[in-house]
Amino acid sequence: MKMHPMILWAAGLCLVSVGASAQSRDTGWEFGGDVVFQSSQDVDFDNGGTTQFEDDIGISLYAGYRMSSRLEFQFGLDWSTVDYEADFTVGNSTVNINADIEAFTPFAKANFNFLEGPITPFVSGGIGWAFIDTNIPDGLPQTGCWWDPWYGQVCGTFQSTRSTDAFVYDIGVGVRWDLSTGYSLRLAYEKTWYDIENAESAPDFDKFKLGIVFVY
């Protein structure tokens, strides 16, 4: 159900753009942003634990360089927060955790456009490194104070949380539409794998991306 507004938005953008003449995809730079819908997924771990990730929305920002009208390279950052529920066995007891996970993922990617015209399907492949905060406390709360140049002395209580990182790789397919006003539209589907420590296998997530690209 969450995908319906994204599909309607894409259709609306296409309708209002009808009649625009195509622009050239000559060599040059471009900058873009995507809204990312990530589907739910269950992940099993070697110690018998299971984590259920809910579907959620994230964002992606990137810069790209067009080597030609067909070949593009991108580098950027994905960000998301996803609610999850985890069950782990500790001794003879089962521990249940409800929290949200936050991930920042710098990435590099290559896109290949099949056509030179203004509307073209494309395939993509990329790699990245995810920095993940599980928001699970791993220490006692601590209170500290610091000096703020605007507000003076500020005190607060903090608690460290368990963080991890993982190698990420993905493949995708999509459609690009170049418009005449210096921007393009993209709609893409990607399958993303996370090489997470202690997982029984690299969990994969389905991602749907809808975004705009500013072309220079």
- DSSP letters for the chain: -TTHHHHHHHHHHHHHTTTPPP----SEEEEEEEEEEE--EEEEBTTS-EEEEPPEEEEEEEEEEESSSSEEEEEEEEEEEEEEEEEEEETTEEEEEEEEEEEEEEEEEEEEES-SSSEEEEEEEEEEEEEEEEEEE-S--EEEEEEETTTEEEEEEE--EEEEEEEEEEEEEEEEEE-TTSEEEEEEEEEEEEE-TTBSS--EEEEEEEEEEEE-
76-80, 201-205, 211-215, range with the lowest pLDDT: 201-205
Q: Does pLDDT of 78 surpass 60?
A: yes
Band of pLDDT at residue 45, cut at 50, 70 and 90 = confident
pTM across the whole model: 0.78
CA Rg, the chain, in Å? 21
Q: What is the mean pLDDT of the chain?
A: 85
32-41, 153-162, 194-203, range with the lowest pLDDT: 153-162
Predicted local distance difference test score (pLDDT) of residue 23: 55
Q: Does pLDDT of 82 surpass 60?
A: yes
Distance, CA of 19 to CA of 11 (rounded, Å): 15
Average pLDDT of span 98-116? 94
Predicted local distance difference test score (pLDDT) of residue 26: 84
